[in-house]
Amino acid sequence: MAACLTVVRPGLFATIQDLGRFGFQELGMPVAGALDPVALRLANALVGNPQGTAGLEIALLGPALRVDAPAVRIAAVGPLALTLEREGDAPQPLAPHRSHTLRQGDVLRLGAVDGASVACLAVAGGFALAPVMGSLSTYVRAGIGPLGGRPLAEGDRLPLTRDSAPDGSDVELPQPPDYGAGPLRVVFGPQEDRFTDAAIDTFLSATYRVGKQADRMGLRLEGPALAHRGSADIPSDGLVTGSIQVPGNGQPILLLNDHQTAGGYAKIATVISADLPRAGRLRPGDSLSFQAVTVEEAEAIRRRREQAIAGWVRAIRPVRPTGGIDLEALYAENLISGTVDIVNGGSDIPLL
């Protein structure tokens, strides 16, 4: 039997996602991909994969997965509860933000996502599934992607590219990634001229709340209405992830990964790429506000974000043992600053 993870319980909404399906929006195909690409990239780094390797995106409540392979290495990044069930042992909680090596027959239960809308799970080597239009991202609305473009279902077998876990010890992030805080930063346009001056001021000063209508397509926001100059409707034009449409009721809609590729509502602004992972983590009831930046500032912020992610990857280290001595860390320290030449009468001149 080929190595795989078998879905014992599907959870509420778990899908296979990579970093997106690019190059097909002109055909009406959304990019899709992970709502929190930072989490996916770091989870992949923890198991030794290229950062764009497809993993599982877990929303609300995760699945239970049985290991049908000699061994497999996994890592979860995000506010996610994990439990290992191994025959003959009591259930054992597992920490996120590190890798774990599981063995044949183990059941990994991924619990509630608490503190964000999604978390990500990566598997060493990734899944042996056929890409659709060059991507393993799942676009559920059109049934496009692996598993017929649907969420996980009980009994699904997720084939693995590796027959067993790679050599080497498990590793960890020293601390969870820092997504930043404060307003979501936006670049105005492309139709900010379709809004009154008062609407622009309100957009930058008000606090909005994510409404109940929130999914991978977008977030309907609730707060002060934004007044248009004339009609809210425009000739349909292209949309990007992070576009903020404002329909006739004046309530903004923040578009996420599964957004339609064209639309006919005026767009007041666009969330910058560096802040899209924060937007993708928002849940119904969360509050948010906006701050305007220039295109040049947005590009600089994105460069700093990429530098931060690279720094987190470089900081990945072997898991420190619980109790006992971490010999690897001990050997890395310079514990001896010098020695005394006892043969020469106790001279205090160091030999090293």
Task: Determine contact, residues 272/188, Cβ cutoff 8 Å.
Answer: no
Residues 306 and 346: their CA atoms lie apart, in Å, by 54
220 has which bridge partners?
253
For 211-266, write each residue's pLDDT tens digit. Answer: 999 999 999 999 999 999 999 999 999 999 999 999 999 999 999 999 999 999 99
Task: Determine contact, residues 272/248, Cβ cutoff 8 Å.
Answer: no
For 105-126, write each residue's pLDDT tens digit. Answer: 999 999 999 999 999 999 999 9
Residue range(s) of every CATH 2.40.100.10 domain in the chain: 184-298
**Tokens for 164?**
């067993």
Which three-class secondary structure string do you get for 318-352?
A: ECCCCCCCCHHHHHHCCCCCCCCECCCCCECCCCC
Other Cβ atoms less than 10 A from the Cβ of 254: the count is 28
Q: For residue 325, what pLDDT is reported?
A: 52
- 165: which DSSP letter? P
User: Which secondary-structure segment (H or E) carries 221?
Assistant: strand 218-222
For 280-336, write each residue's pLDDT tens digit. Answer: 999 999 999 999 999 999 999 999 999 999 999 999 999 987 654 554 444 444 555
**Tokens for 78?**
């995000």
pTM exceeds cut of 0.85: yes
Q: For residue 323, what pLDDT is reported?
A: 54
Average pLDDT over residues 83-88: 93
Task: Determine contact, residues 216/33, Cβ cutoff 8 Å.
Answer: no
Q: For residue 339, what pLDDT is reported?
A: 43
Of all residues in the chain, the percent with pLDDT exceeding 90 is: 89
Question: Does the pLDDT value for residue 208 go beyond 90?
Answer: yes
Task: Tell me the pLDDT band of 137, cut-offs 50, 70 and 90.
Answer: very high
As a whole number of angstroms, the longest Cα–Cα distance in the chain is: 95
Q: HSE (CB half, 13 Å, CA atoms) of 126? A: 23
Average pLDDT over residues 203-214: 97
Q: Under CATH, which number does the domain 184-298 receive? A: 2.40.100.10
Q: For residue 88, what pLDDT is reported?
A: 86
Q: Give the contacts of 221 (CB within 8 A, at least 6 positions apart).
A: 208, 209, 210, 211, 251, 252, 253, 254, 288
Question: Does the pLDDT value for residue 342 go beyond 50?
Answer: no
Where does residue 330 rank: exposed (0-12), middle (13-18), buried (19+ CB within 10 A)? exposed
Residues 264 and 245: their CA atoms lie apart, in Å, by 9
Residues 211 and 32: their CA atoms lie apart, in Å, by 21
Q: At 3, phi and psi to the nearest 5?
A: -65, 135
Q: For residue 345, what pLDDT is reported?
A: 46
Residues 117 and 285: their CA atoms lie apart, in Å, by 11
Q: For residue 44, what pLDDT is reported?
A: 98
Question: Does the pLDDT value for residue 347 go beyond 70?
Answer: no
| Residue found under tokens 């009980």 | 154
Residues 192 and 178: their CA atoms lie apart, in Å, by 31
Q: For residue 132, what pLDDT is reported?
A: 95
